[in-house]
Every structure is written in C-alpha cells, then in structure tokens.
A = this chain, B = another copy of it.
Amino acid sequence: MRIQISVAAMLLSLSAVSQAAMFEPVPEPTIAPQDQAKVELGKMLWFDPRLSKSGFISCNSCHNLSTGGVDNLKTSVGHGWQQGPINSPTVLNAEKQIAQFWDGRAANLEEQAGGPIANPKEMASTHELAVQVIDSIPGYKPYFKKAFGTDKVTIKEITDALAAFEKTLTTPNSPFDRYLKGDKAALTPQQIKGFELFKTSGCTICHNGPLLGGSSYQKLGVVKPYQTTNTAQGRIEITKKDQDRMTFKVPQLRNIELTYPYFHDGEAKTLEDAVRIMGEVQLGKTYTPEQLADIVAWMKSLTGDQPKIVLPILPPNGKNTPQFDPWKKD
C-alpha cells in the first residue's frame, strides 16, 4: 500500500515536468570528426571474430545489427555453446545510459566493450590474447596508426575504437520522434491512445528521457514479486547492499519491437507479455486486452531508422597470429 502511495507521489511530481523534457527525440551520435578513424577501426573490430578465443564469435554475434542490436535469444550463446546468464541488451542508442550492463557494472561503452571479450561464458578470450591477436595482423596497423597516432595495440585502443563505433549506432527518425517534433500524423490514433495510457499509467516513472529508459536503476517487482528462475540478482552484485537485490537498469524502449525477448531473463516473449507483466509487478495494474494493444501499437512507433552498415572487410592473419581452434582444451 505504501508503495502505491509512493508511485502516486512520484507521478504527481513528474506531472510538473514538461513532455518535452520527459520525451526527447533519440540523440544524435556524439562523434567528433577527428574520431572518424576510430569509428572505422571500431567497426572492423566489431565484426572480427578473432577477438574471441574460438575465432568464431564477434561482438555482432550477440548484438546483431541486422536484428535490432540483439540476438533475439533468451540468453546468448557463448564460447562452446554455453548458455549465457542474462539477456543481451541492445547496442543501439546504448551510449546515453546511466551505465552499461543490466547491473550497471561498466560506467561507459569503453569499459563495457572489454567485458564480453574476456568473459569465459561469452567470447572467452583474455585481454592479453586479444591484443596479441590484433597486434599480429599487419593489415590492422595502418588503421590503428590513423586512429591513435601509433600502431602499438593495447586493450584501451581496442575498446576505445569499439566504443567510438557503437556511439554511431543511433536510430533517429522513428514515427514517435517525428511526432515529438510536431508531426501529429506520425502516430495513428491508436498509437496516440497507447501513448497517453503509457503516460497516465506511471510507466514514465522509469521509462523517460530520450531512450525511454536507461536512466535509472529500479527494483523489478515493486508491487508484486517478479518470478524467475534466472539467478541474476542485479545491482546488489555491484553495491553489495541488500536493498539493491533485483534492482536492474531500466531497459530503453527504443526499437523495442526488434529487441525481443524481454527483461533481464528474456522470459517475456512478446511485447504484449512484457507490458502485461510490467503492469502487474511494477504498477499493480491489470490492462484490458484493448489497453495492451494500444500501448503495444505505440511502442512500435519507437522503431527508428536502423544504422546503415557496410560490412567491413577484415585483414587476414599475419604469420604470427595464433591459430584458432574452437574445440581446443586448455
């Protein structure tokens, strides 16, 4: 009961915030012209499976830019076909978030990029091996030289270049963005109805700002406990504070139509499921089928223009490049 009062109070305080501040068009990339060489190098590294121990998994394997920057799996396939621990969040528009990963353990994209490379359940390499591999490829040298002024490869340069590329992965010009900018015909009447319901329901407490999320950590299961078999405990793993148990970074809603399945455990298969469950466990609301359909219709207006990526051509191994063997035992 106390919780519901608190939600009401927050709604009241939010009503003072103008719609313009609460909802903003998706931000433009923040790449300085002099960083264009980093972007180009980062794109190559993004698609390079040699950053993984197997030589088979690239960043794009789990954050597939053909499919909304995710793999559309409940949890990802890692080295040796291991089952990943958590749902892969989208890389699209990922920069402007409070932090990276579901539990916010990386402050920014640069810090995030080093994680999966060395995670034994993901790409299963090490920073040392990744640097050794990339450093051994002669064709990469001019790209590092152009991006960083030196062709000495370090993990910092690798992750900086990856982050520079990721920062370009924004999705402007969604129907919702056009609507926010004044084109009232950009949304259908049903989508406008869904949007109004989204706002008056309290969804905007967590899903606000340019990404409609990504700006705060919130407990999953505010009104009613969230049931899951997934063992992730959220932010407590970082802060070690008991109040952060089951507290996760609020996922962004941008391109949500493409980034199924939903939640940190990937248990919600459809947008209808996701909205229904969120209503129940976060807001204590049971939406009618019509209300669900309206909100979902609006959510589909959040799909922006996807990045136009020309597939990079990767330089071949050099004579000192370590051999890849996906089945090699340590």
Query: Which A residues are closer than 8 A to B by beta carbons?
Result: 47-49, 54-56, 61, 64-68, 71-74, 77, 80-81, 83, 257-258, 260, 269-270, 306, 308-314, 316-317, 319, 323-327
Contact of A310 among B73, B309, B324 (CB under 8 A): B309
Please indicate the chain B residues that have their CB under 8 angstroms from the CB of A309 in the complex: 310-311
Question: Are A72 and B47 CB-contacts (below 8 A) given A270-B319, A312-B66?
Answer: no
Asked whether A73 lies within 8 Å of B326 as measured between CB atoms, the reply is: yes
Contact of A56 among B48, B77, B269 (CB under 8 A): B77
Question: Are A325 and B74 CB-contacts (below 8 A) given A80-B81, A310-B308?
Answer: yes
Please indicate the chain B residues that have their CB under 8 angstroms from the CB of A67 in the complex: 49, 314, 316
User: What would 7 more interface pairs be, CB under 8 Å, given A56-B73, A67-B316, A311-B311?
Assistant: A56-B77, A74-B325, A81-B326, A81-B327, A83-B327, A257-B316, A306-B313
A314 to B77, CA, bound (A): 20
Asked whether A71 lies within 8 Å of B56 as measured between CB atoms, the reply is: yes
Please indicate the chain B residues that have their CB under 8 angstroms from the CB of A74 in the complex: 325
A244 to B323, CA, bound (A): 32
Contact of A311 among B49, B65, B270 (CB under 8 A): B65
